[in-house]
Chain A
């Protein structure tokens, strides 16, 4: 008896945002990321019978997505010049040294920030996926997508005080989940 069941009907609701964020920090192109997520779901569907239930559905989907991202980079890299052998280059305006330019710029903090941000995003979605479905949905709509209270109420058929109770519970849970490493 496997520990985890597989139920593709709920995949998109449950995991698409998580997978999308995972992808967008790695390919940084919205459309591309969207396609990759879509491909992942379809690939998952095809190889559903290989799912052994040892890991959770999400972990399994992420492992497919990782392959897809690697394939994506392979594909765009094969389009480039095969290998660059020149060490110096000069054209009309520029002259430089490839090797020299490869040395990391100590004042460039963006790379580190970006990695930290990626981890933070993963952590946020990790915590979000631990919430009950309704709480996660309301919290996501309100905090991340920035919907108006009224719109959310209308869409989910709840009243405003209901919404705030849900938000309160979600915020408390999110805060305690993120507290250890991030707040």
Chain B
């Protein structure tokens, strides 16, 4: 039978699911496989821990970005000034 349910996943897939989980995009089944992997894989455990920490830290910092519209407006004005400068 080739269609066996795979519960063991390789490390790179575990990393991938762990990344996805940081953005709440991993399915329940994927997460289950991830946690199962973490039981026996020390390397991935530390990766997962670091990854989670990174997410928490960035969330805690409340970093903000300029939104796209405002950047575009900024660019427009800047380019105008650049052209004036060159003339």
Contacts and interface: CB of A to CB of B under 8 A. Distances in A.
Interface of A: 8-9, 11-12, 16-17, 20-21, 24, 30, 34, 37-38, 41-42, 45-46, 48, 117, 120-121, 124-125, 140, 142-145, 149, 164, 167-168, 171, 174-175, 178-179, 182-183
Contacts, number: 91
Nearest to A167: B19
B54 A174 contact: yes
B23 A142 contact: yes
B63 A37 contact: no
B78 A42 contact: yes
Given A42-B81, A164-B16, A182 B75 contact: no
A120 B57 contact: yes
A120 B61 contact: yes
B78 A24 contact: no
Given A121-B61, A144-B65, 6 more contacts: A16-B71, A17-B66, A20-B66, A37-B66, A121-B62, A168-B15
Identify whether the interface residues of A are mostly helix, strand, loop, or mixed.
Answer: helix
Interface of B: 15-16, 19-20, 22-23, 25, 50-51, 53-55, 57-58, 60-67, 70-71, 74-75, 77-78, 81-82, 85
B63 A21 contact: yes
Given A20-B64, A38-B74, A164-B19, A143 B58 contact: yes
Contacts of A38: 74, 77-78
